[in-house]
């Protein structure tokens, strides 16, 4: 049983058996923000390319996303259960980014154009544009199906009593959180002005 569980935990995308899929003639996708999987939220736009949209990615163990994040836009804390992620800030920002490891230690940094960071596989991470300019950044993940689990959306789907105990809160406080939660999805979000002011508090501590 333990060996079976270990095999599942260590599973990854299979190695490719051929160079390219049979019959494939195109290896370029034009204009990702038109032809990708595009989602538009209050905090900006994301465009993802995966094997379903771009067949040339078949068996390459890749998912690729470009972001145009408005000032104070946030990619809500989330995990990718089946992939590590590398992120590059191309222009704009800066971005506050970071993750929390399995020891409960947080690793937060400020990215400027040209900077690269990594989010290890399965760890909770986020991005927030703390600058005054729209941030264009790129994310590459090492799986065709990395999965996305949004922290707040998942947490608030836990039954109320268990959640209240986890948060050291009352049932009423948890119910208020549940009523006010954002829609469980992948859109970039925008906090109220009282939470974030573009260009202020460019720090890792807030």
Binding residues for Mn(2+): 78, 80, 85, 125
Annotated binding site for oxalate: 75, 80, 85
Nearest to 116 by CA among 134, 132, 100, 140: 140
Residue 63 near residue 141, CB atoms below 8 Å? yes
11: left (phi over 0), alpha (psi -120 to 50) or beta: beta
Q: Which letter does DSSP use for residue 57 in this model?
A: G
Is 8 exposed, middle or buried, given 0-12, 13-18 or 19+ CB atoms closer than 10 A?
Answer: exposed
> Token pair of 54, please?
């771009």
Annotated binding site: 75, 78, 80, 85, 125
Residue 126 near residue 74, CB atoms below 8 Å? yes
Name 140's bridge partners.
64, 86
DSSP assignments along 179-196, one per residue: HHPPPSSS--B---TTT-
Nearest to 76 by CA among 200, 193, 183: 183
Residue 55 near residue 22, CB atoms below 8 Å? no
């Amino acid at each position: 049983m333990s060996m079976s569980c270990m095999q599942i935990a260590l599973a990854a995308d299979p190695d490719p058996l051929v160079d390219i899929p049979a019959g494939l003639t195109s290896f370029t996708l034009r204009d990702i923000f038109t032809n990708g999987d595009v989602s538009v939220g209050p905090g900006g736009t994301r465009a993802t390319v995966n094997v379903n949209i771009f067949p040339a990615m078949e068996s390459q163990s890749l998912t690729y996303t470009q972001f145009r994040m408005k000032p104070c836009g946030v990619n809500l804390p989330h995990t990718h259960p089946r992939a590590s992620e590398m992120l590059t800030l191309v222009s704009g920002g800066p971005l506050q980014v970071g993750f929390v490891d399995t020891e409960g230690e947080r690793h937060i940094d400020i990215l400027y154009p040209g900077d690269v960071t990594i989010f290890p596989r399965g760890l909770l991470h986020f991005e927030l544009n703390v600058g005054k300019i729209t941030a264009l950044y790129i994310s590459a993940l090492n799986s065709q199906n990395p999965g996305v689990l949004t922290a707040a959306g998942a947490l608030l789907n836990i039954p109320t009593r268990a959640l209240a105990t986890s948060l050291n809160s009352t049932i009423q406080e948890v119910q208020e959180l549940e009523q006010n939660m954002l829609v469980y999805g992948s859109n970039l979000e925008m906090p109220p002005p009282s939470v974030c002011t573009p260009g202020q508090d460019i720090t890792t501590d807030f």
